Structures are given as C-alpha cells and as structure tokens.
Structure 1
C-alpha cells in the first residue's frame, strides 16, 4: 500500500460543496478555522463520487474528542469501542472522529488525551484492546490521516474530501476500485475480517447496493471466515440485518449472503428449512417477498422492521404453526408458539427486540381475521395497531402467490371507506357516549324494635 497519497484536485473530481450538508460544512470550517485538519470521509465521499445522495456526512479530524467538545456547545461524546463526537443540529447529527492509528506500540498504554476545561480527572485513556481471537474490542488510539485511512475496511471507503483545498485524498487506491466497481479490503482480508467479523456483512451490503463485485481474495476470506460472524454481538447483528434487507437491494443481498455462506450461520434452522422442499416445491417466497420490499423501498414507501421480519420468515412460522395445529393446538396458540420457537432459535445470534417480535406475531395472527370477510366487528380490526402492516403483508402475499385477492380488495375498500379521523383523547367521541351510572344506595334497614 502506498505511503504517499494520490491527491485529486478540485477540477478533476465531481464533488461540489453545494452537494454537502450545510451542517457538515459548518463543522468542517470551524475545525479548519481553529487550526485543525478536517476531512469528509467514508461512505459520503464514495457516494458523492458515484453521483448518489449520501444518507449522512462523517468528519475526521486531528482534534481529539475533548477538543471537539470545546469547540461545539452542541457536542456529545459517545462510544466506548470508538470514542466519537456527535454534533447535534435540529434535523441532523454530524459524527466527528479523531484520526485513528493502525495499532499502538503497547496496547493499553497510550497517552491520555488532554482534559477539557473544567473536566475532572476521570476521562478514559485511549486504548486498543483485542480479544484472544483477534477481534478489536476497543480502539481509541489516535493517529495520522494516513493511518486513519488505512485502518478503514474497504478501499472505496478510505477516500477523504479536504475542506482546505477541496481535493480528494486517496491513500488506498480507492479511486481505481471505484472506477472498476470492486469491493476490496485494505490489507489482508483475513486479518481485517478477524478484527471485525461484521465487515463481511458490510462487504455484501456494499456489493449489493452499489452493484459492485467482491474482489477474489476478499471473497475467499468471507467463505473461510463465515462461521465467525456469530462472534459479533446479537444486538449489533440485528441492526446490521435491518440495514441489509431494507437497503433497497435486499433480494440481491439475500443471494450473496447465501452464496458466501453467511446466511447459514446467521439463520441456521431457517436456512436448513429453505434447503428442504415442502410438498415437492422449493421455498421461493422469501426471494419474491424481498423483491416486493425492494420495490416498496425504491418507491419511497417505508417498510417497518416488523413487516420486514413477517415477510421474510412468515412462511416458515406458518408452517411451524401448522405442525402444532395438527398436534391439536388452537390456531392462535400455535402461531404464538411457532413465533416463540423461531425467536428462541435466533436469540443467541440475532437479538430481535421483544416489542418487534410482538408486532410480527400480531401481523401473522391478523391474517386469520382478515380471511373472514366481513366477520364480526370489522371496524375493530381497523383500529388494531398492526392493521396497516397486516394488510401490507396480505398485499405482498397476493402479489407473490396470486392468492387472497378477493380478501385484499374487500379490506382495502372497507378501510378506505371507513377510515375515521383521529379524535383528541378525552373528548369521548371515539369511545362512544359515556353514560353516568347513578350510584345505587343501599336500602336503610329499619331499626329493630326491641
């Protein structure tokens, strides 16, 4: 890897300040005006060069977190594994990171950063902590812009936009890989994926979203290290799963994950079920459901986490519930039991929050009620908190299987014709007319005659 960066001057790249968030520009200029180096870094630079609109703007600087905090009253310091500064604006948070070193010479003995004015001696020392398996647990050792670029995950994410002269700084040959459409790790991919197994998932996500290919050595490392993905924490893997399948390229993500062997380790029993046939037919509904979700996301229609999970795993849970019904369990109990079984399988690997799981169960249970048209009290069905998602689930199933179109049409018409505006709490209109009940007085007993 080159030690001297390639500098692409303003006239040779397409990024303009007009494309950058005004809040990010404020942060960059205040850091620069106070004598600090300040770069836009990471995915926002990559996306701007590709003509895509970034979701957020990240800043890297030589200012320490406490120095950043002194410059911005709206700053909050966050994180243990990576110490970051969040600059809060009304509608946006700009994340500011201090340039990180590749690794300290003596892990855990790095010099503590200077204290902010008025701060007592309790700030954490910058530390680099690695597990026995080589996974980075904490990384607060500050370094140079070059070190910071070379410790990033992929070459296309190591580009920096310098606010001082509006140039692009490339330490890792990222511009070439961007032109060629390649996802390549910086350095040895086995080492980089061992440091942080979630980088394997990120490689899949970037390849799917950008339409890039994964470079051969990087691809082989993913295949080799796929079983280690479960070393990442279960809550973090849940968040990464949402990013993967709500990216607008979820179906391609799914195919790449299965080819790379990652899907089998993220969803072991579900993956085994996918490999089996039911009634002589393969399980293809998840792929079609993800295509439907991609269409929704691409059209600007939000897909909630409960709806995503219901669409991905609904057929599996329904089949498990069918087995319980055959054993004599009532249908609602069977759906609840099947859902609990699925959550139990996933809990050690991907921690699905309890409230999300309850909403998924409600979406699946409502399918039983929607099938009965009109049924008793259909207006009460509209009032259920998961009705819109349950109807979307039915809409997707109709698009995928062609079944239930009559039921879908009835509920869409009924919900359109019977939607009532929300009523302020306490007006009594939404609850019907309340009638005061007169307190009944007990009859007085006549005093006993002595």
Structure 2
C-alpha cells in the first residue's frame, strides 16, 4: 500500500485553497443539528467557527461521521461563557465539551500552534508545557495527516484547505502534514494513526511516510502505555481491524508495540505465515460483526488478539494429567497476560476479565464432553464473553459450535449460528441436562427415645 509515484512529500502551502459551497457536496442538512447550534452560536458572537477533522473528511468521502468536532479562535473561558451546558477538560491543553440530550458531546477546541503531545524546549533546555493558542493555519499544520486537516467554515459554507488534503483525497493518498521523519519523532503514535486511516479508507500510504514508519517504528515504545493502548483499541474496534493488523504486520510496527509477539509472527517461527493468517481471519470476523452492529467488548478483542501467542507457547504434553494440564494452561495465560501485554497499561478489571475468558475455555470444553453445564456457571459475569470468544474461534477454524454452549446465550448472539434448538421426537425442543454433583448423605440420627 505504498505510492511508488510519489517520491517525496510536496511542500505544504501557507496560502489556503478555499472551495466555495457551489463546488463541494457538504450541506448544512448533513451536519448534526447540535453541532450546527454550536457553530452558529460561536459565529453569531463574533468568533471563527469551523467544523474540523474527520467529519469533513467523511462527508467528502460520502460517509456519515460518528463525531463532530469544532475549532474556533475563542479561548476556553469564552466558550464556557457561551455554553452553560459545557465543561472544560484537560490540564495542559484545555478543551470544552458541550453536552446535549442523549449523552451527545460536541468537542470545541481553540486553534493551536502545536500538538498536545509535542514538547517545546526553552533556551535553558527545560520543557515548556502550556496552552499554545494559534491561528487557523497553525492549527491545520499541527494535525497528523492531510485528509484530516480540512476545515468547513460556517460563515460562508466553504472548505478551507491549508495542507493539500483535497488533492490527497482525490489521489486516495495517506500523507503526513510536513516531513514524516520529524512528525514521527515528535509523536510516534502518529504511525498508528497513519495505518488506521489507510486501513479505514483503503487509501495508499505515500512512500516517504511508509519508509519513515519502517525507520521509526521502535520509537513507539517511548510513548505513554495508556495512549498506545487507546490507539490500538481503536484499530481493533472501528471496523477495519483486519486491514490495520495486516499493515502493522507488514511494517513490523506490531512487533515494536508487542516485542514478545516476535516469537509468533517473526522469522524465528517457521509457521509465522499460518499464525498471521489465523490472526487476520479472527479479526475479519470482528469486522463482520461491526458491520452487523454487533461490536465486541475490549476483553473479547484482547482475548482474540492473544490467541496466536497462546498457541505458540502452550503444548498439550501427552503425559500430563487433566489437572496438571489445566494448571499449565492457567500459568500460560498468566504469562501471556503479564508478558505479551506488558506495553499496555490495562485497568485491573479489564485484565481480570480477559484472564477469566481465556481460562474458561478449558471448562467449556469439559462441559461439552460431560454433556451438561453446572448451574453455578450460568451466573458467571464473563460467561457470555467466554461463549462469544469460543464461537468466533470455532467459526474461524471452520468448526461447529456445540449446541449445549449456544443455548447459554441468546439465539442471535452470533449471526452465523443456525437455529440452536434440537427437536426431540415428541416435537418439543430438547433441554440440556445440568451436571449435578452427588449429594453426600450423612448418617441419620435417630431421635432419642423419651425416658
């Protein structure tokens, strides 16, 4: 997904391209009503008010945006004065969230001259951390990629392009704003975003940007674990996980984020191609569920992501008994959670749920062999997640999910499951039996005879 015809990044023009309303497809009818209220209130009070970022890009691509962000020359305290239903967030770089019914939030930011995650040094060498308010041009130039640097001006309904985003949309090209070598050194997380937008749009990454990812991929380890975690989860849950992971494997960025996955997808593993294909097939199903309106939770996504790693480091030794094999499996999952996911800053609850989902697979397999489900298992909080993980894994391998497990969850839990209830000769659905423990009977003590 490299553009061989683009040997270098063209210079960014400081003279904006202004596209009048008659020459672009964005209409006010397409914009969310609450976002329009924010834009107009800012504009009518004498401020610049632009719709920015992904919403403008999505409109031009014929898609419906999920979020609407607004940029203005009003400072945070001035925005707060205009919107009583708002709150200022952030310490270093303050934003204003304007709240509407149904939990909807419109994010309003002041034009800035640099990114939140870029550091500026003083003459003495100390880091300067403060709000860096700027102009619309500076705000466009600080953004990650050109197709995200477009502005929609509510004053005259025009599109303002300082960064060549319109040309790159027409060429279907993903390109950083400015020199990618410099941009990735300033903030290595931009490499993940470049890959995500290439996967979501199907666009080509231009050669200088792609080569810079290859050269600077290890710099991702210097970033905050929580930022890397949040960006990586976006890769998995926004409907283009397969394409994102394919590009991350192609550039080896995945191994830079998770060094221990080198033993699974690296050259040391003779079966690396099979393992890569298996990972991509799992997340192809994840993307399919997203398209059907059935997004997966973070524990399921992490459990699926760990599956090839667990398979690479665990072995069913023929001389281990059932209890010893289970103990070995639990320790293997512990190792995978603590070692492979070490770069992540995971909340304790998320980590625990992933662990329970993974170790529950051994119990579910045993229940199938026994032909019954203990009653206490039906109250487990992670039961549905465990069955869902098992169902996705079975479908990816071309296996049939046992009906005894499918009946633990709603019939439409996964779209590719057939009717789960088997019909008995009497015409009534069969019921699975419960695995019951034998009740111990103590001695019956006879009542003493009256004296």
TM superposition score category, shorter chain reference = 0.7 to 0.9
Q: Secondary structure at the match of 1:35?
A: coil
Q: CA RMSD in A?
A: 2.8
Aligned to 2:286: 293
* Distance verdict in 2 for CA 1:261–1:131, change over 3 Å: farther
Q: Secondary structure at the match of 1:39?
A: strand
Contact 1:382/1:415 (<8 A) preserved: no
Distance 1:127 1:385 in 2: 38
Aligned to 1:64: 75
Aligned to 2:358: 364
Q: Secondary structure at the match of 2:62?
A: coil
Q: Secondary structure at the match of 1:27?
A: helix
Aligned to 1:96: 108
- Paired residues for 1:374-393 under 5 Å: 374-375=370-371, 377-393=373-389
Aligned residue pair count: 392
In the TM superposition, residue 54 of structure 1 has moved relative to its aligned partner by 0.9
In the TM superposition, residue 414 of structure 1 has moved relative to its aligned partner by 5.5
In the TM superposition, residue 322 of structure 1 has moved relative to its aligned partner by 3.5
- Paired residues for 1:275-294 under 5 Å: 275=266, 276-277=268-269, 282-283=274-275, 284-294=277-287
* Distance verdict in 2 for CA 1:127–1:395, change over 3 Å: closer
Distance 1:230 1:414 in 2: 41
* Distance verdict in 2 for CA 1:29–1:324, change over 3 Å: farther
Aligned to 1:216: 207
Structure 1 stretches of 5 or more lacking a match? 104-125, 420-450
Aligned to 1:272: 263
Aligned to 1:153: 144
Residue number among 60, 65, 68 corresponding to 1:54 in the alignment: 65
Contact 2:188/2:223 (<8 A) preserved: yes
* Distance verdict in 2 for CA 1:327–1:315, change over 3 Å: farther
Aligned to 2:85: 74
Deviations 1:200-231 (A, max 9, x none): 10000000001011111111111111010111
Aligned to 1:247: 238
In the TM superposition, residue 347 of structure 1 has moved relative to its aligned partner by 5.2
Structure 2 stretches of 5 or more lacking a match? 1-11, 414-451
In the TM superposition, residue 306 of structure 1 has moved relative to its aligned partner by 0.7
* Distance verdict in 2 for CA 1:30–1:415, change over 3 Å: closer
* Distance verdict in 2 for CA 1:239–1:207, change over 3 Å: same
TM-score scaled to structure 2, two decimals?
Answer: 0.80
Distance 1:356 1:231 in 2: 23
Aligned to 1:106: none
Aligned to 2:403: 409
Q: Secondary structure at the match of 2:305?
A: helix
In the TM superposition, residue 343 of structure 1 has moved relative to its aligned partner by 2.7
* Distance verdict in 2 for CA 1:201–1:416, change over 3 Å: closer
Q: Secondary structure at the match of 1:101?
A: coil
* Larger CA deviation: 360-369 vs 166-175: 360-369
Distance 2:172 2:106 in 1: 28
Aligned to 2:436: none
Distance 1:305 1:299 in 2: 18
Distance 1:357 1:330 in 2: 24
Distance 2:271 2:133 in 1: 59
* Larger CA deviation: 391-400 vs 154-163: 391-400
* Residue 32 (1) aligns with residue 43 (2): yes
Residue number among 391, 398, 401 corresponding to 2:394 in the alignment: 398
Q: Secondary structure at the match of 1:398?
A: helix
Distance 1:161 1:381 in 2: 54
Distance 2:341 2:72 in 1: 38
In the TM superposition, residue 345 of structure 1 has moved relative to its aligned partner by 2.1
In the TM superposition, residue 336 of structure 1 has moved relative to its aligned partner by 3.2
Distance 2:92 2:357 in 1: 37
Contact 2:118/2:187 (<8 A) preserved: no
- Paired residues for 1:199-214 under 5 Å: 199-214=190-205
* Distance verdict in 2 for CA 1:402–1:303, change over 3 Å: same
Aligned to 2:175: 184
* Larger CA deviation: 91-100 vs 408-417: 408-417
In the TM superposition, residue 274 of structure 1 has moved relative to its aligned partner by 2.4
Contact 1:129/1:139 (<8 A) preserved: no
Distance 1:222 1:362 in 2: 36
In the TM superposition, residue 318 of structure 1 has moved relative to its aligned partner by 4.8
Distance 1:316 1:263 in 2: 13
Distance 1:369 1:309 in 2: 20
